Homo-oligomer: A and B are copies of this chain.
Amino acid sequence: MSKKLKVGVIGAGRIGKVHTQSITYHIPEAEIKTIADVYIDNAKDWANSMGIQNTTNDYHDILNDPEIDAVLICSSTDTHSRITIEAAQAGKHIFCEKPIDFDLDRIHAALAAVKEAGVKFQVGFNRRFDHNFKQVHDLIKAGKVGVPHIIKITSRDPAPPPVEYVKVSGGMFLDMTIHDFDMVRYLSGSEVEEVYAQGAVLVDPAIGEAGDIDTAVITLKFKNGAIGVIDNSRQAVYGYDQRVEVFGSAGCINVSNDTPSSAVLSTAEGVIGEKPKYFFLERYMDSFAQEMKEFFDAIVNGKETPVTGIDGLKPVLIGLAAKKSLEEGRPVKIEE
C-alpha cells in the first residue's frame, strides 16, 4: 500500500463530520491527521472515537503542518474564501464546501490564489456524484435524449431550517437552490443566460419576516436554447424530494426518489410505498464519499478535479441573478 494522503479538516460541524466519516471508513487512500474547529472542545470526543488524535481550535495549525497534503474547508461560509486563499498560499490542495462565498470579488480572489499556487481545488457540489443524477448525466452524454429541450429539477427539503439560520444563509437561492443551479449546469452541458424567479412565503411566515422566501419556481434560459425550471420548497411533509427530468429531441429521462426499501404494502387503505430517504445525510451519503474519492484521485493522479473553481463561481452568479429577478419582478440576464 502506497503512502496515505494526510488530510486536515477545518470545521467540525455536520458536513465536516460527514467527510471525516467518509474518509475514515471508505477511503483507505487517505487519512485525517488533524481536525480544527473554533469550538474544538465540543468535537474532541468525537474526533477521538474516529481515531483522530490531533485537534485544534486554530486552523493555522493545519496550514502550517508540512505533513498535511490537503485540507477540507467545512467552516462557516463567510470564512471559505479567506481560508482558501491562506491554504493555497500554504500549498495545500483544497476541497471547499459550497458556496465559496456570497461575494463575487472574494470568489475571484480565492480562485486567483488557487491558480497562482497551482494546487487542486474542488467545490462541494456532492450531488454530481449521486448515483441517480450521475446516471442522468451519463445518459445525456451518451445521446439518449438527443438535444436537451427542457430540464426540470424538483428539490424540496423535509423541513425548514431554524429562522436564525435563514437569516445568515444568504437566502434560499444561495443556500438551497445553489445545488440545483449547479445541477442544471452539470446536466445541460450549457450555461444559463437568463433567470426568472418567482418566490413566495407559504411554509412559515417567520421566514418571510426574516427577509427570505420558502417556496420558489425559477425558470432558466440556456445558451443552447434549452429551458430549465427548478421548483423548491423548504417543507415537503413526505420527506426530501429530489427528482430530475430531462426532456430532449430523442427522449426523456426521469429519476425518482430513493427510498429506504422497495417494500410496498397493499391494504384496505391503499397501496403504500415508503417515503423518500429523510434528508441529505441519508440520501446523499454515498455521494459524499464519492466526491472525496475523486478529490483524492485528482491529487494523486494529477487530474483536474471534477468540480472546479468555475463550477463554484457560476451557481453563485445564477443565484444572485435569481435574487435580483425576485426583487425586481423581471427576468434577469446573468451578465448583468
Contact = CB atoms under 8 A, between A and B. Distances in A.
Given A202-B225, A250-B268, A251-B267, 18 more contacts: A25-B25, A25-B28, A136-B263, A139-B265, A150-B215, A152-B231, A196-B198, A198-B227, A215-B227, A217-B219, A231-B247, A237-B249, A238-B267, A252-B266, A253-B266, A254-B266, A266-B275, A271-B272
A235 B132 CA distance: 26
Q: Indicate how many identical chains form the complex.
A: 4
A16 B1 CA distance: 20
Nearest to A260: B131
Contact of A238 (B132, B196, B268): B268
A147 interface: yes
A229 B251 contact: no
Contact of A251 (B216, B237, B259): B237
A162 interface: no
A191 to B, nearest CB: 16
A271 B238 contact: yes
A133 to B, nearest CB: 9
Contact of A200 (B145, B225, B267): B225
A48 interface: yes
Contacts of A258: 262
Interface in A205-264: 215-217, 219, 221, 225-227, 229, 231, 233, 235-238, 241, 247, 249-264
A323 interface: no
A274 interface: yes
A270 interface: yes
A270 B274 contact: yes
B261 A238 contact: no
A272 B272 CA distance: 4
A249 B252 CA distance: 29
A301 interface: no
B25 A26 contact: yes
Contacts of A221: 198
Contact of A273 (B217, B237, B249, B270): B270
Contacts of A44: none
20 contacts: A135-B261, A135-B263, A149-B203, A149-B215, A150-B215, A152-B231, A196-B331, A202-B249, A219-B219, A219-B229, A236-B266, A237-B251, A238-B270, A251-B268, A253-B263, A255-B263, A257-B262, A270-B273, A270-B275, A330-B330
A329 interface: yes
Contact of A254 (B25, B219, B263): B263
A163 B255 CA distance: 34
Contacts of A273: 270-273
Contacts of A134: 261
A219 B257 CA distance: 24
> Which 3 A-B residue pairings sit nearest by Cβ, starting from the closest?
A251-B267, A238-B266, A135-B261
Contacts of A144: 265, 267
A251 B265 CA distance: 7
Contacts of A227: 198, 200, 215-217, 231
